[in-house]
Amino acid sequence: MNPFYDKLLRCYECLREKTSFEPVTAVVLGSGLGGYADEMEQVASVEYREIQGFPVSTVPGHRGRFVFGYVEDVPVVVMQGRVHYYEGYDIHDVVLPIRLMKLMGAENLLLTNAAGGIQEGMQPGDFMMIEDHITQFVPSPLTGPNVESLGERFPDMSQVYDQGIRKVIAETAKRLEIDLKRGVYIQFTGPNFETPAEIRMARTLGADAVGMSTAVEAMAARHMGMRVGGISVISNLACGISPMPLSHEEVQMAADEAAPYFKRLLTQVISGLSREL
Ligand code: HPA
């Protein structure tokens, strides 16, 4: 038996002892964006530390719980705080929560994050819809024995971020008069911010925004056949593009300021998705 799959099933059983809620859409809230969960119609919540074997987030600004409830009548599970590779977890543990939400029933996954802007013209506070990603700097969560019941050994990644979801995000942003950037997200391991040379490399590779999460989660979700959407809040200009040194506080502050717009966008994307299905 695959030890990661074993752990996943144990976590699933543990979670099911606490709630029978069946979400349609799963949402991961990034740095500084966790407040969104406090405003939805909550049915239940489960702290990560109550789930046996579950990796617990240690990052300031990440709360560490699943919230179950409704956004405009759509059953959703929201992760208030995610698990990062830089916290020292095995990459398989990093994507365990994503797999867990799929086992609970979620078919759609909306990933959000705070990211550093690389694309010319980006400003802190901008939103970027993720159209594709580069994740070759981080180990793949699909390594090791493949669990066929989750997905195939060599999954196609030609369209990680679902066209239908992208259309809903773009139309919603337009309706809300939010200037939506689009681009490629590159994931580095962190926890250090990048050097100017690394950002020049990322730009040369075709990246528009940089972060320390999300791409591996999207990959695990695609492996399982989930439909994935991604939105980055540009919290800062990436190193070398901005003349200022970077700090986590800056990232959180920018996310806080973007929060009201983000809330409207996310709520309408979730309800838009349910109409589109
Ligand atoms: N680099 C990496 N991760 C980030 C950044 C950044 O500039 N901003 C927010 N998350």
Q: What is the per-residue pLDDT for 228?
A: 98
Both tokens assigned to 182: 């689009």
Asked if 84 is an active-site residue, the reply is yes
Amino acid letter for position 23: P
The rounded distance, in Å, linking the Cα atoms of 76 and 105 is: 10
Q: Which atom of ligand 1 is nearest to the CA of 239?
A: 7
Question: Ligand 1 center to residue 27 CA distance, Å?
Answer: 20
* 78-117 pLDDT per residue, tens: 999 899 999 999 999 999 999 999 999 999 999 999 999 9
Substitution candidate for ligand 1 out of 134, 193, 213 with most atoms within 8 A of CB: 193
Asked if 62 is an active-site residue, the reply is yes
* 23-77 pLDDT per residue, tens: 999 999 987 788 888 878 899 999 999 999 898 766 665 578 999 999 999 999 9
Q: What percent of the chain has pLDDT over 90?
A: 78
Catalytic residue among 173, 236, 254, 258: 236
* 196-247 pLDDT per residue, tens: 999 999 999 999 999 999 999 999 999 999 999 999 999 999 988 877 777 7
Q: Does ligand 1 come within 6 angstroms of the Cβ of 211? A: yes
Sequence-separated (6 or more) residues with CB below 8 Å from residue 169:
129, 180, 229, 231, 265, 269
Q: Which of 182, 185, 187, 186 is nearest to 169 (CA)?
A: 182
* Mean pLDDT value of segment 117-127: 94
* 177-207 pLDDT per residue, tens: 999 999 999 999 999 999 999 999 999 999 9
Q: Does ligand 1 come within 6 angstroms of the Cβ of 116? A: yes
